[in-house]
Amino acid sequence: MADRAKLANVLLNGVTAITVLCALTVTALRIRDAVAPATAAPSDDRLAARTIRDARAYRAAGHRIGPADASVTIVEFADFQCPFCRRAAPALRALMRQHPRDLALVYRHYPGHEFSFAAAIASECAARFGLFAPIHDAFYAQAESIGKKPWSRFAREAGWRDTVQFSQCMSDSSMANLVIRDTIAATALGARGTPTFLINDLVVTGYRAAQLDSTIRGALARLP
């Protein structure tokens, strides 16, 4: 037991170093995005929206919740410490329950808060064992504990019991690379913050409950 605890501590120290280095990479991407020329904010308080041609490429990565053949797919670039992402999560789930065959959500990372990069790595590790949805929900339900509560406790609550195995995964650089990949994709999409949604081919910036709901319902209404 003592040997396993010692191994876990060594691995967690490695996790800290990797997380700091990778978070610096992500921070550089976010700063580059922040200093780019900004577009004017919509004057009528509607969600800023635009269409793109290569939406399929953004749906090819990330964590899908819902059917692979859904007629409407929402790609969400989000941050586990983002309060607006947290508010959007139950609204999106409610819509998915109402339209279980036609609507799917693909979650992708765009961390920008103090502990959100490490949380993103933890979620990637959980996803490796099919536990992305439980840890996603745990992070949003316990947002005030992110950065205070050990990542291994979040993992256990999501259903992962082996602390050493989890620590090994957290120190795996390929997990951090997945987060960086998503951040690069968000930057390419022109995201300036979280949440940023891609609803089929429509990019929607920000979260306002009524407007996002009507945009998604509008996409569903256009189905044949």
Give pTM, 2 decimals: 0.79
What does the domain layout of the chain look like in residue ranges?
2-221
State which residues of the chain have pLDDT below 70. 1-48
Q: Do 55 and 38 meet the contact criterion of CB atoms below 8 Å apart?
A: no
Looking at the DSSP assignment, which residues form a beta bridge with residue 49?
204
pLDDT at 3: 47
77-117 pLDDT per residue, tens:
999 999 999 999 999 999 999 999 999 999 999 999 999 99
pLDDT at 12: 47
Domain 2-221 has what CATH class?
A: alpha beta
Q: Residue 7: name the closest of 165, 129, 206, 212 by CA.
A: 165
**pLDDT confidence of residue 26:** 52
Q: Is 40 exposed, middle or buried (0-12, 13-18, 19+ CB in 10 A)?
A: exposed
